[in-house]
């Protein structure tokens, strides 16, 4: 089988949401290649906590005694219990998917009423369900796909796609260049030339986080840029045109247009940079600011997983 689903950006491309059918109800979920739980708002939460969200009414079979509890790098989190239900994404069906129903979520999820939960697409080794880890949607369907892969084509300020089971050559230019993936930490982890340390491809992170040295070198070419500790990152005048940022990954090169690196206004005519420091995180995060310049293939067709990058 193959399928494709639209990925619609929230304001300022903060995150990209896809329609997912669970037990016949459509939820708008953040497909997150940086985590491995599929969780949704549910009627088990206080009504005030789920106001404005589509909530799961436990249509599936409860996995008695199973729980989950997840914390994300941005300080948000959620927890709850577990059901098994039919899940469909872009026409691709998992007949018995672990659906993690929330009993509580952090305030930033409650306030983001576009988002009804997350569908994780990292490796199942970091799924948080206890006492038995559960498989991601991709792991559940990959054997039924024409090719064991999915591909992300996020776009700047407009809807993109996630393709399942096939590569759409109309969505990129040049060639796809592949690099090996280290799965030891459960992420789509790879090495980028000229960017020290390990990097992860993370659709669920908004910005591009790279080492201080790379960040400082980038903003040295932005006259109005400075590090603003009150904002927690580099800011600049919204009207200043920004340089492109180019990186070599394997035998291929990807260029992020400068326009994409103006993330959003933070106050008046001051804007927050899409490139920020990864110092303190433990690895670099190639989030949406980077991914929206690419066609990225999350590939398990070989004996070892690999990532493919092409210019979008």
Which residue ranges make up the site for ligand 5HQ (CB under 6 A)?
15, 30, 32, 34-35, 72, 74, 76, 108-109, 112, 115, 118, 204-205
Known active-site residue 13: no
Q: What's the DSSP call for residue 196?
A: -
Query: Catalytic one among 37, 81, 85, 202?
Result: 202
Smallest distance from the beta carbon of 177 to ligand 5HQ, in angstroms? 25
Please enumerate, as own/partner, the contacts of 68-75 that have beta carbons within 8 Å and a separation of 24 or more. Answer: 68/37, 68/39, 68/100, 68/127, 68/128, 68/129, 68/130, 69/128, 69/130, 70/35, 70/37, 70/39, 70/128, 72/35, 72/204, 73/34, 73/205, 73/281, 73/285, 74/108, 74/205, 75/106, 75/108
Task: Report the alpha-carbon distance of residue 69 to residue 131 in Å, rounded.
Answer: 12
Smallest distance from the beta carbon of 108 to ligand 5HQ, in angstroms? 4
Smallest distance from the beta carbon of 230 to ligand 5HQ, in angstroms? 21
Contact 275, 293 (CB under 8 A): no
Kindly state the tokens that stand for 195.
């960017």
Residue (160 or 250) nearer to ligand 5HQ, CB: 160
Query: Catalytic one among 32, 37, 163, 299?
Result: 32
Known active-site residue 32: yes
Smallest distance from the beta carbon of 277 to ligand 5HQ, in angstroms? 17
Residue (138 or 172) nearer to ligand 5HQ, CB: 138
Residue (30 or 85) nearer to ligand 5HQ, CB: 30
Task: Report the alpha-carbon distance of residue 155 to residue 291 in Å, rounded.
Answer: 8
Residue (107 or 241) nearer to ligand 5HQ, CB: 107
Nearest residue to ligand 5HQ, using CB?
A: 204
Residue (41 or 178) nearer to ligand 5HQ, CB: 41
Kindly state the tokens that stand for 86.
């039919």
DSSP per-residue string spanning 20-69: EEETTEEEEEEEETT---EEE-BTTS-GGGSTTS--B---SEEEEEEEEE
Smallest distance from the beta carbon of 137 to ligand 5HQ, in angstroms? 16
Among all residues, which ones are annotated catalytic? 32, 202
């Amino acid at each position: 089988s193959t399928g494709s689903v639209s990925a619609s950006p929230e304001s300022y491309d903060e995150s990209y949401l896809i329609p997912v059918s669970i037990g016949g109800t459509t939820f708008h979920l953040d497909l997150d290649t940086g985590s491995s739980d599929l969780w949704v708002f549910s009627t088990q939460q206080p009504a005030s906590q789920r106001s404005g969200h589509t909530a799961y009414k436990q249509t599936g079979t409860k996995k008695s005694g199973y729980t989950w509890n997840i914390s994300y790098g941005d300080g948000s989190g959620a927890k709850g219990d577990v059901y098994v239900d039919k899940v469909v994404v872009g026409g691709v069906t998992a007949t018995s998917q672990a659906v993690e129903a929330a009993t509580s979520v952090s305030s930033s999820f409650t306030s983001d009423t576009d988002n009804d939960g997350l569908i994780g697409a990292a490796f199942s080794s970091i799924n948080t369900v206890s006492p038995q880890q559960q498989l991601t949607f991709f792991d559940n369907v990959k054997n039924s796909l024409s090719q064991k892969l999915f591909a992300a084509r996020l776009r700047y300020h407009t809807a993109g796609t996630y393709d399942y089971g096939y590569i759409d050559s109309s969505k990129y230019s040049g060639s796809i260049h592949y690099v090996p993936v280290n799965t030891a930490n459960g992420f789509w982890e790879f090495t980028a030339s000229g960017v020290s340390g390990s990097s992860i491809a993370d659709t669920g992170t908004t910005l591009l986080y790279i080492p201080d040295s790379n960040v400082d070198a980038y903003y040295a070419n932005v006259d109005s840029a400075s590090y603003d500790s009150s904002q927690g990152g580099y800011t600049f005048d919204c009207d200043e045109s920004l340089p492109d940022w180019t990186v070599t990954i394997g035998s291929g090169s990807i260029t992020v247009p400068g326009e994409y690196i103006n993330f959003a206004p933070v106050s008046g005519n001051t804007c927050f940079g899409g490139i920020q420091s990864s110092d303190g995180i433990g690895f670099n995060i190639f989030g949406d600011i980077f991914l929206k310049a690419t066609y990225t293939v999350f590939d398990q067709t070989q004996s070892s997983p690999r990532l493919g990058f092409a210019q979008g």
